[in-house]
A and B are shown apart, each in its own frame.
Chain A
Amino acid sequence: MALLEIRNLVVEFGTARGRFRAVDGVDVTVDEGEILCVVGESGSGKSVSMLAAMGLIGWPGRVTADVMRFGGIDLQGLSARDRRKVVGKDMAMVFQEPMTSLNPCYPVGWQIGEALRAHHAVPKPKIRDRVVELLDQVGIPDPGRRMNAFPHQMSGGMNQRVMIAMAISCNPRLLIADEPTTALDVTIQKQILDLLIGLQAEHRMGLVLITHDMGVVAETAHRVQVMYAGQMVEQQSTDALFSAPRHPYTAALLDALPERAHGRSRLPTIPGVVPGIDDRPAGCLFNPRCSAATDLCRTTAPEVRDGIRCHFPLGQGHGA
């Protein structure tokens, strides 16, 4: 049975110009011990869909889904009180910017201990030992002394380790990491990704990694979901996605990477921009930027078939 199962997730925000669908009919399943990468450009709804799974969307947002189950529990039917028992304990999240996510007024050790206290994960006198153990686990040198440091006294990489320590403090079964390395330098990014994958393998956690960096996807994921303008457009295993992308958007996105352009030539580009709140086109949301769009694409929105949201997936002959 899947650890996290979400069907037809819709997240809407009430705005002055009417309701805006940030996430539109997304399905997410994560198995135990699996690494799922959710990749997309800014505004594609990748963070919002995971925040919705965590129950962190507040007014004016509205979350609906046909199914939203975690480890057999129906998350939609839970009271706020019961939900808090699950969130932060069995499913935990690492946020993007460690510097703004940590409380500047408390030492980092106290903040990690807060999760342990809230969930009664260990008896009170043992909390200090557990915090030291966690800091050691995420690779912070001299944890006994560092637990008394404030966030501003540590570097971005160290603070991200604190965030991870906090998230894994209650041995979660599912860890959602929202752009955990975007604010960090590449050498530190490598350390943090290695740490996350190491912990994931050790504890058989499910790991959802939200990112916009195709390199990070290629280095870490078992399975990939590509998001575009609030919809999931492609879902494949990592190897298949990079060797034979089937949605035109994924293919164009990979082609636009400088790493794939050999020699000093022009990069292939995707014309236009991601549609915003006012200019969502009729039919397929990608059709104005798609080189293979037909009249069908301009009028009828495609459904997801075999993990691809496209009338004419690549790799099986156009119009087949």
Chain B
Amino acid sequence: MTVLMQAKGIRRHYPVGGGLFAAKGLVKAVDGVDFTLLEGETLAIVGESGCGKSTLARVATLIEPPTDGELLIDGKVVANDAARRNLRLSVQMVFQNPFGSLNPRKTVGRILQEPLEINHRGTAAEREQAARAMMDKVGLRQDQFGRYPHMFSGGQRQRIAIARALMLNPRIVVADEPVSALDVSIQAQVLNLMMDLQEELKLAYLFISHDLSVVRHIAREVMVMYCGRPVEHGPKDSIFATPRHPYTRMLLAATPSIDPTRRKQAVTIKGELPSPLNPPPGCAFASRCPYAAARCTAERPEPRAFAGHLVACHELERIEA
């Protein structure tokens, strides 16, 4: 298996405030993330709002440079702007909301040809041909070539967005919540399309989602993030079968199951995400964790190997016992 993307200690910090009334601060949106993405595989990044998963997507698509850390695409380091420009072509993105990510004043044909025009690929005739071929691939009809985005339903629009992302033959697609704005019956169509395209084109997906049932269906590996840091990383099946980190357990327990005979009334969940502006010292999850000990509020746990997962928790042995 070819390694397509590798992240080593990625950090992305934003300075905030420093205005008339606000004190200067530093939001550590992503604070030390490592992962490897293989050809034809799906890595899912899971977490609640504010955990840094979308910022990670922006770094992975080279929209923003990381504050610290190294990103390798196809074995090449993304070091400067020139390298960035070249490598950017092989990473494309599908956005969450297909109602906002398509230009309402352009027809589907124009939207699909735009990436080729910007990069001076082929003649006008070749570009049109490429766009039409891509429409077939994602299940859009040829007579829809001249239509505008508002004439399509949400699911169809997400097909257009996926087609646009694939126009430059990328090897990596970063999908930021691609189905969360869609109804269930439409969601299944888009997930099937994404899986078919992955098989056909050997695409690697960085799949960002908060919906665990979708992740369970599409991913091979799962990384759970909390407050900008990965708390657990491992193969999908074992993450869902035997979650190790207390946050992963809580996330799985909170997800409603569609089996009414298995109502999980017993689990109680307290607290909310801490502000990323001044995260607690120690473990960010300590304030909500039922197993928190003195060490957890003082010292930040680093990810360590535990039963085939990478888990960032001091108290694992005690929890498992």
What residues make up the interface of A, taking CB atoms closer than 8 Å to B?
41-42, 155, 157-158, 185-191, 193-194, 212-219, 221, 238-239, 242, 252-254, 256-261, 264, 266-270, 273-274
Contacts and interface: CB of A to CB of B under 8 A. Distances in A.
B217 A267 contact: yes
Contact of A155 (B195, B263, B269, B272): B272
Contacts of B259: 218, 242
Contacts of A212: 183-184
B257 interface: yes
Interface in B198-220: 210, 212-214, 216-218
| A-B CB proximity, top 4 nearest | A215-B256, A258-B217, A185-B48, A190-B254
Interface in B231-259: 250-251, 253-259
Contact of B258 (A187, A215, A268): A215
Contacts of B195: 264, 266
Contacts of A253: 184-185
Contacts of A270: 185, 188
B184 A218 contact: no
Contacts of A194: 265, 268
Nearest to A158: B272
A218 B257 contact: yes
Contacts of B217: 258, 261, 264, 267
Given A219-B264, A267-B192, A269-B188, A213 B256 contact: yes
B216 A259 contact: yes
Interface string B140-160: 000000000000010110000
A185 B213 contact: no
A190 to B, nearest CB: 4
Contacts of A242: 258-260
B191 interface: yes
A261 B215 CA distance: 12
A219 B261 contact: no
Interface of B: 48-49, 153, 155-156, 183-189, 191-192, 195-196, 210, 212-214, 216-218, 250-251, 253-261, 263-265, 267-270, 272-273
A256 B187 contact: yes
B48 to A, nearest CB: 4
A36 to B, nearest CB: 14
Contact of A269 (B189, B251, B264, B265): B189
A216 B253 CA distance: 13
Given A218-B260, A269-B192, 13 more contacts: A190-B267, A219-B256, A219-B257, A219-B260, A239-B260, A258-B191, A258-B214, A259-B213, A260-B258, A267-B191, A273-B153, A273-B156, A274-B183
Contacts of B214: 258
Given A186-B255, A257-B213, A214 B184 contact: yes
B270 to A, nearest CB: 8
A41 B261 contact: no
The majority secondary structure among interface residues of chain B is helix
Contacts of B48: 185-188
Contacts of B269: 187, 190-191
Contacts of A188: 48, 272
Contact of B251 (A41, A158, A187): A187
A185 B211 CA distance: 10
Nearest to B267: A190
24 contacts: A158-B272, A185-B48, A186-B212, A186-B255, A186-B256, A188-B272, A189-B254, A190-B253, A194-B268, A213-B256, A215-B213, A218-B258, A219-B257, A219-B263, A219-B264, A253-B185, A257-B213, A258-B188, A259-B216, A259-B257, A264-B195, A269-B189, A273-B186, A274-B183
Contacts of B49: 185
B185 A252 contact: yes
B213 A258 contact: yes
Contacts of B272: 155, 157-158, 188
Contacts of B212: 186
A261 B186 CA distance: 15
